Amino acid sequence: MDIENLGYWVLGVADVKAWASFAHEVVGMQAGSVEADGSLALRADGYRQRILLLPHADDDILEVGWEFATPNELTAFITRLKAAGVAVEEAGEQARKQRRVRRLFWCADPAGGFRHGFYYGADLAADYEPFRPGAGTGAGFETGPLGLGHFVAITKDYEASVAFYRDVLQLRVSDFIREKVAPDKEIELTFFHTRTGRHHSLAVGSVASSSKRTSHLMLQYKRMDDVGLAYDRCVRAGHTIVMALGHHPNDRMFSFYVKTPSGFALELGYGGIVIDDAQWSIVTHPKRSDWGHELFPRDAALRPA
Ligand SMILES: [Fe+2]
């Protein structure tokens, strides 16, 4: 009854059209059209929808969707959540349709201000409407069993968040980063993976690096050239590069970070590792980046974890 992977994000954004053109022309996702309720769906692969944009003043993440492989695993997980004292609500037909899933439950994140969705049965459009990348080499995104990508949650209570993700959601600890960022300031990050092993689907830090609920979302390309091509498109279109090209020591991701139209960052990367739990040992890394990821001073406050 483990979570299979991280399958979707619901973002509440002030400017849906700006997001759609950023996601399509710069990131290389496929953008749908604006629905009657003002929402818009973004695709990254054969799934009918991976990011749902809702018009919302928050300009922030509203919900993250955790995918289950079978309906029985989903219901067993929900039974366990309830037994652990978590308030769980089953989503109605309208919400399920909007997220294009067959069964969906929700609970609030205890310290992050967003909602967790637990679902089964995403609408796969690959057979009747193949994914068409909006830009890049055409190779698309590394998703499939690994899920959509990863995100870093900004928490009001680091210990409570770590305990919830580890003990209640039963996400698996990947590793830690403990970095001295000033003589009197150390930050710690905990990274979590799901059953299918993307190095992390979720990370959380001890020091809030942003006023948003997430410091960044991450999408991974299948080809390294797509990172460089995306970097060029970001610079040419005048988007703010928050951190330059670099490499993380733990997930070994080659990536850069660009500011989204909502203010939080999007990491675009290549080469993140997949964890095999039978071979894996948990370590603590002393730095977030082993080279690069230079912070651009004009956006110092926005540096993602
Ligand atoms: Fe990241």
Between the CA of 102 and the centroid of ligand 1 the distance, in Å, is 29
Instruction: Tell me which residue of 2, 124, 166 sits closest to 69, measured CA to CA.
Output: 2
Q: Where are the domains of the chain?
A: 5-122, 144-302
CB within 5 A of ion ligand 1: which residues?
218, 267
Between the CA of 92 and the centroid of ligand 1 the distance, in Å, is 32
Instruction: Tell me which residue of 26, 90, 10 sits closest to 261, measured CA to CA.
Output: 26
Between the CA of 256 and the centroid of ligand 1 the distance, in Å, is 9
In order along its 305 residues, the chain shows pLDDT tens digits of: 899 999 999 999 999 999 999 999 999 999 999 999 999 999 999 999 999 999 999 999 999 999 999 999 999 999 999 999 999 999 999 999 999 999 999 999 999 999 999 999 999 986 679 999 999 999 999 999 999 999 999 999 999 999 999 999 999 999 999 999 889 899 999 999 999 999 999 999 988 878 899 999 999 999 999 999 999 999 999 999 999 999 999 999 999 999 999 999 999 999 999 999 999 999 999 999 999 999 875 544 444 54
The DSSP code for 1 is -
Q: How far apart are CA 154 and CA 212, in angstroms?
A: 7
Between the CA of 203 and the centroid of ligand 1 the distance, in Å, is 8
Q: Do 144-302 and 5-122 have the same topology in CATH?
A: yes
The dotted CATH code for 5-122 is 3.10.180.10
Between the CA of 218 and the centroid of ligand 1 the distance, in Å, is 6
Between the CA of 201 and the centroid of ligand 1 the distance, in Å, is 9
Between the CA of 79 and the centroid of ligand 1 the distance, in Å, is 31
Between the CA of 27 and the centroid of ligand 1 the distance, in Å, is 16
CATH topology of domain 144-302: 2,3-Dihydroxybiphenyl 1,2-Dioxygenase; domain 1 (3.10.180)
